[in-house]
Amino acid sequence: MNLPDFTALLLTFKLALITVVVLLVLGIPFAWVISRYKGALKPFIEAVIALPLVLPPTVLGFYLLIAFSPNSTLGSLWITMVGDQFVFNFAGILIGSIIYSTPFVLQPLIAAFEQQGEQTLQTTKTLGIPLFKGVLIFLLPSIKPAIITAATLGFAHTLGEFGLILMIGGNIPGETQVVSIALFNYVEMLDYESAHMLAGTLLLISFITLSLLYKFNKHNFRIGRFPVSSGNSKTGRYEK
Amino acid sequence: MGKCKLRQFIFVFGVIFSFACSQAPIHKQDSKQGKPLTIAVASNFYLTAKLLLATHPYYQNVKLVSGSSGTLYAQAKNGAPFDVYLAANSYFPQQLYKDGLSNKPVDYAQGKLVLYPVATGKSLEEILKQSNRIAIANPDIAPYGMAAKQILERNLVDNTKLVFANNVSQAFQFVDTGNVDTAFLAQSLLYHAHQQSKRAQYSQYLLLPLDTYNPIMQQATIMLNSNKQALAQDFLEYLVSKEVQEGIANMGYLAVNQKLDDNK
């Protein structure tokens, strides 16, 4: 493993970690609100959350490229706010990753809140515990497995992110050149040996990280078994 | 209640699905000369190849597979059913030849590097100095990127200005969407952009002198595992014929028999 590979690995994990933290901090309150909301717009909101699953990442990246072009309103606003261009730097790929991983983090959270929220809150209400305290002390710990599942899915999904970063990254080492891009370059350069090395390292580290997460999350809903939000809302309270 | 909803859902889905199916176009599969050739073509030459084939009655059924030269090489090496491989450089076809998988490669076009956009009268040095962000194709994997790098190094351009695109098409996207000021592109790409949109801006570029970078020689080769050797050979002869070479000289390439100083 040479230095550029190490830089790319470090950058990838940094990106995945920040993405997950941001998504959890914003996602938990948002998922709570969505799970409580029973209005007519609910199916549409859930559809919007699921949309990043539909759009191919390169297409998503292409639209970000257009939307945040310095010539556009959004792009110039971004430059005034952040001081730098949206694309070709870390902040850009971070926003991209957040959009890209949103469904993976939000869906398990919404599902868990819908399953456990009502009951837990009824209990705390009977005990005379204020709502805020009830959520913080009883509800959040009770959905811990879902939070860990959400974090794991978001993290793993960001590690493997490729098309989006290919579109808006600009392949800058240490800034936007993540492992998947570095891997792709090796393959294109016919340097299969380095590609195998890097892919192997990524797989090994990811395997260890995920195993540890699952080990410490005994009552988890495993990947592939978490309730999909649309299905859940159909059978849930929302139809009453 | 749930069952009823499910039936409704299946019904609606079924209606949409059958509607979508009925709208799908029906492809005509007829080919007058038996099975058509499959040609793997580097993405920078894809549109040119398509134009060339469309005007030729004999080759209208040819299947074009487009991708980066490296990807296509990897596919060809692992048994993809290509008859002919048109690369964007000479390295990959030579590699296939060395691997014992293809015939001896031949030159079929020479790429021309341009700087875009450049207002008339501006020089290369001025533009490079004024630009904050310059996009080039990744020099490690794309021949036009390698050529651009040679020019940038000679002009001592600050590396932090550079953005690396996956290929010239992506470098074009970066500059066309306004995310970079300047890009090193293939002239053929701007030719096609201009043909398709008729926007005058696509002809505002600076053609870089051919002696300032190593020639971008695009080579073609016939795969040995092809069972249409004769047909493939005919196609290759057509590709390097005077007629075709004159045609591609108008589409942003240099005909392969042209000399260095003929560059216009």
Q: What is the mean pLDDT of residues B124-130?
A: 93
Range with the poorest average pLDDT among A40-44, A140-144, B22-26, B179-183: B22-26
Residue B202, pLDDT score: 94
**Confidence label for A8 from pLDDT (cuts 50, 70 and 90):** very high
Q: What are phi and psi of A43, to 5 degrees?
A: -60, -35
The string of pLDDT tens digits covering residues B55-78 is: 887 787 888 998 888 889 989 988
Range with the poorest average pLDDT among A116-130, B124-138, B214-228: A116-130
Residue A221, pLDDT score: 47
Q: Under 8 Å CB-to-CB from A128, ≥6 apart: which residues? A: none
| Contact call for B163 and A171, based on CB within 8 A | yes
Contact B150, B79 (CB under 8 A): no
**Confidence label for B258 from pLDDT (cuts 50, 70 and 90):** very low
Measure CB to CB from residue A189 to each of B1, B5, B141 and give the nearest one.
B141
Q: What is the mean pLDDT of residues B178-186?
A: 95
Distance between CA atoms of A85 and A239, rounded to whole angstroms? Answer: 45
CATH level 3 topology of B38-111+216-262: D-Maltodextrin-Binding Protein; domain 2 (3.40.190)
Residue A91, pLDDT score: 92
Which two three-digit tokens encode residue A151? 């974090």
Residue A171, Ramachandran bin (φ over 0: left; ψ between -120 and 50: alpha; else beta): left
Residue B166 contacts A where some CB pair is shorter than 8 Å: yes
Q: What is the mean pLDDT of residues A180-196?
A: 88
Longest dimension (CA), chain B: 81
Residue B258 contacts A where some CB pair is shorter than 8 Å: no
pLDDT of A235 above 60: no
pLDDT of B26 above 70: no
**38-77 of B, contacting A, C-beta below 8 A:** 68, 70-71, 73-74
Assess: ipTM above 0.90: no
Average pLDDT score over chain A: 85
Q: What are phi and psi of B114, to 5 degrees?
A: -130, 160
Q: How far is CA A57 from CA A162, A164, B70, B170, in A?
A: 8, 5, 22, 15
| Alpha-carbon torsion, ordered B9, B12, B14, B15, to 10 deg | 180
pLDDT of A66 above 60: yes
Residue B157, min C-alpha distance to chain A (Å): 16
Average pLDDT score over chain B: 86
Domain spans of chain B? 38-111+216-262, 113-207
Distance between CA atoms of A190 and B70, rounded to whole angstroms? Answer: 7
Distance between CA atoms of B238 and B242, rounded to whole angstroms? Answer: 8
Measured between CA atoms, the residue of chain B closest to residue A66 is B177
CATH level 3 topology of B113-207: D-Maltodextrin-Binding Protein; domain 2 (3.40.190)
Residue B4 contacts A where some CB pair is shorter than 8 Å: no
Best interface-test mutation with A: which of B99, B179, B181, B184 has the largest number of A CBs within 10 A?
Answer: B179
**Confidence label for B3 from pLDDT (cuts 50, 70 and 90):** low
Distance between CA atoms of A38 and A23, rounded to whole angstroms? Answer: 23
| Contact call for B174 and A65, based on CB within 8 A | yes
Residue B19, pLDDT score: 61
- CA A72-A76-A80 angle, 5° bins: 170
Measure CB to CB from residue A65 to each of B73, B166, B173 and give the nearest one.
B173
Q: What is the mean pLDDT of residues A31-59?
A: 92
* B135: chain A residues, CB-CB within 8 Å: 170
Residue B109, pLDDT score: 95
* A72: chain B residues, CB-CB within 8 Å: 178
pLDDT of B31 above 60: no
What DSSP character marks residue B24? S
Instruction: Judge if B38-111+216-262 and B113-207 fold alike in CATH terms.
Output: yes
The string of pLDDT tens digits covering residues B236-256 is: 999 999 889 999 999 999 999
What domains sit in chain A, N to C, each tagged with a CATH number? 3-38+48-225 (1.10.3720.10)
**Confidence label for A222 from pLDDT (cuts 50, 70 and 90):** very low
What pTM did the predictor assign?
0.77
Q: What percent of chain A has pLDDT over 90?
A: 48
Helices B69-77 and B91-98 pack at an angle, to 10 degrees, of 10
| Contact call for A188 and B135, based on CB within 8 A | no
**Confidence label for B262 from pLDDT (cuts 50, 70 and 90):** very low
